[in-house]
Amino acid sequence: MKAWPRELSVGLALAALLAALAAFAPGFFAPQPLLSLAAREAPVLLVACGAAMVIVCRQIDISSGSQFAVVSVVAGLLAAEGWPPAAVATAALALGTALGALNGFLVAGLGLPSIVVTLATMVTWREGLRWWRQGAFVNLPDGLQWLGLGQTAGQWTLLATALALLTLLALAARHLAAGRHLYAVGSDAEAARLAGIRPGAVTFGAFTAAGALTALAALMNVIQSPQVDPKSGTGLELKAIAAVVVGGVAIAGGRGRLAGVLLGLLLLATVGPALTHLRIEAHWEKAIQGAIILLAVAAEGARRRPA
């Protein structure tokens, strides 16, 4: 279909970058650092999936980084209290879902603009956490790191989980009526309403699902280290949204695929390490990522313009 060339161009850019690395810095492809990189980015992928759902629905959620921090700290404290891992995970997921549902209620139920709502929740959770924890790290009990699987197996588990979820969500977007409704509401909420769809329910669902995915991402991040940093997740929402936009999801809603989001994230996440391996100064990373985002948005603008 028409959307493919866009994802294809992201894929080609990624392929070109990898080819350059293969030619000039084959060291990049050493298995263990590459796996570590992938495991570090796996949580970002889940947050980006949530952000993609919200953006397809023609909304925006900039509170995911703060949700991530709150869920991380709470999960860490519960684990430190001696809760079994399954109970910690359940509680964390419930908390993330609730935080997402609150955004959804404020946007869909009260009709407030999502940029303002999620800006408010972003600041509130982040500052609330700072006031509550005073910046203290949470020490995790032994055995939680890598779920006791050891680093390599743990990293593979995280990567597999994230990719499996991405696949499931992509299939759901394609094969569930709910997925179709998401696109319909994002394209034209009034038309969707006239077709008997409830745009409010769909929007609420998108924010709630994004919250749940962020909570899962937080859990996947917590088990990668022996401590929980209360400042974790800072800037995460921007990384996620950047991946979504670069991946070809229309910021105006209604169009885009999760496969593109994966490519977008891979491209953005490869830039930093690639610079190191290509011996280009590392402070170019942000500039290059910014340029990629601008390019993506400009390409979107060109497509939006009537032919």
Partner 1 sequence: MSAPLLELRRLTKSFGGARALRGVDFDLRAGEVHALLGENGAGKSTLIRIVTGAHRPDGGTITVDGRPAGPLDPRTAQRLGIACIYQQPALFPDLSIAENLALRLETGGPLRRLDWPARHRRATTLLARVGAPLDPRREVRDLSMPEQQLVEIACALGAGARIVIMDEPTAALTQTEQTRLHGVVRELRAQGTGVIYITHRLEEIFALADRVTVLRDGESVGTRPAAGLTEPELIRLMVGREVAQPYPPAEHPPGDAVLRVRGLGRRDAGVRDVSFDLHAGEILGLAGLVGAGRTELARILFGLTPADAGTIELRGRIVRPRSPREAVQLGFAYVPEDRRRHGVILDLPLAHNASLASHRRLFPGGWLRPAAERRLAEDFIRDLGIRCGGPFAPAGSLSGGNQQKVALARWLATGPQVLLLDEPTQGVDIGAKAEIHRLIRGLAGQGLAVLLISSDLPEVIGMSDRIGVMRGGTLTTLLPGGAAPDAVMAAALGRATEAAR
Asked whether position 40 contacts partner 1 by CB under 8 A, the answer is: no
Pairwise CA distance, residues 96 & 209, whole Å: 9
Please identify, using beta-carbon distances, which residue of 168 and 176 lies nearer to partner 1.
176
Helix axes 199-222, 64-80, angle to 10 degrees: 50
Structure tokens that stand for 199 in this block? 């745009």
Which of 175, 227, 280, 282 binds partner 1 (CB under 8 A)? It is 175
Of 43, 37, 41, the C-alpha closest to 216 is 43
Which of 29, 94, 174, 287 binds partner 1 (CB under 8 A)? It is 174
Number of residues that bind partner 1 (CB under 8 A): 25
Asked whether position 286 contacts partner 1 by CB under 8 A, the answer is: no
Contacts (CB under 8 A) with partner 1, residues 227-266: 254-255
Please identify, using beta-carbon distances, which residue of 130 and 174 lies nearer to partner 1.
174
Query: Which residues on adjacent β-strands are paired with residue 228?
Result: 138
The 182-201 site mask, x for binding partner 1 (CB under 8 A), equals -xx--xx-xxxxxxxxx---
Asked whether position 108 contacts partner 1 by CB under 8 A, the answer is: no
Element (H, E) at 228: strand 227-228
Which of 34, 87, 176, 297 binds partner 1 (CB under 8 A)? It is 176
Please identify, using beta-carbon distances, which residue of 199 and 233 lies nearer to partner 1.
199
Give me Rg for the CA atoms of the chain. Answer: 19
Minimum CB–partner distance for residue 219 and partner 1 (Å): 28
Asked whether position 133 contacts partner 1 by CB under 8 A, the answer is: no
Question: Which one-letter amino acid corresponds to residue 290?
Answer: G
Q: Which residue has the tokens 């490519």?
A: 263
Pairwise CA distance, residues 189 & 177, whole Å: 16
Cα diameter, the chain: 61
Positions in the binding site for partner 1 (CB under 8 A): 1-2, 174-181, 183-184, 187-188, 190-198, 254-255
